[in-house]
Copies of this chain bind each other. A is one copy, B any other.
Amino acid sequence: MARPREFDADTALDGAIGVFREHGFEGASAEMLVKAMGIGRQSLYDTFGDKWRLYRSAVRRYGMGEGSAHIEALRSGARAIDGIGAMLRRVVETADQPCLGVGSICEFGASRPDLAEVHAPLARTLRDAIAARVRDAQRDGDVAANLDPEAAAEFLIANIAGIRVAGRGGAGRAALTSLADMALRALR
């Protein structure tokens, strides 16, 4: 007995994600968000609360989508090492667009507990998936057996961040590919 919502909350959230990726939290204005999300101001506040809660929702959705894409790439390829390479290749190909995960860590670090609560499970899931794949690759003989899989996973995540910072700074495809190759090299 009421008018149903006309917009899709996730679609609107995707618009907010685009703004936050490009401008960060502090650099994003409510007007930018309303325009990019394609909804009214009132709908924004009714649906997502205030700007900070919207930001956290955006980081969560972005992180889940990005994490899924990473893990999907990770599981592709015949050998585990191919999956790891595919994951890095995907990062290189999308490194021209700013990363909301890296951006939010740079902007807030670990200073906001409620934001850290969003990051933590996403990071853990990704790290576990990568570590599992590293173990597979070790069984295949493609990754050095004396390497700690968790340390290797954290190294790969740090290099994903490094590639994205480099891309955000203007590095070209060739330079980023070289970074990915060097990261893989450390696993041999």
Contact = CB atoms under 8 A, between A and B. Distances in A.
Interface stretch (A68-76, A81-89, A179-187): A179-187
Nearest to A27: B26
Contacts of A151: 178, 182
Interface stretch (A8-16, A44-52, A57-65, A103-111): A103-111
Given A26-B27, A106-B168, A152-B182, 12 more contacts: A24-B24, A24-B106, A110-B170, A116-B170, A148-B178, A151-B182, A154-B175, A154-B179, A155-B182, A158-B166, A160-B162, A182-B186
This protein's copies in its complex: 2
Interface of A is mostly: helix
Nearest to A186: B186
A interface, size bucket? 35 or more
Interface string A20-33: 00011011000000
A107 B109 contact: no
Contact of A27 (B107, B168, B186): B107
B179 A155 contact: yes
Contacts of A105: 165, 168-169
A168 B26 CA distance: 18
B106 A165 contact: yes
Interface in A84-140: 98, 102-103, 105-107, 109-110, 116, 119, 123
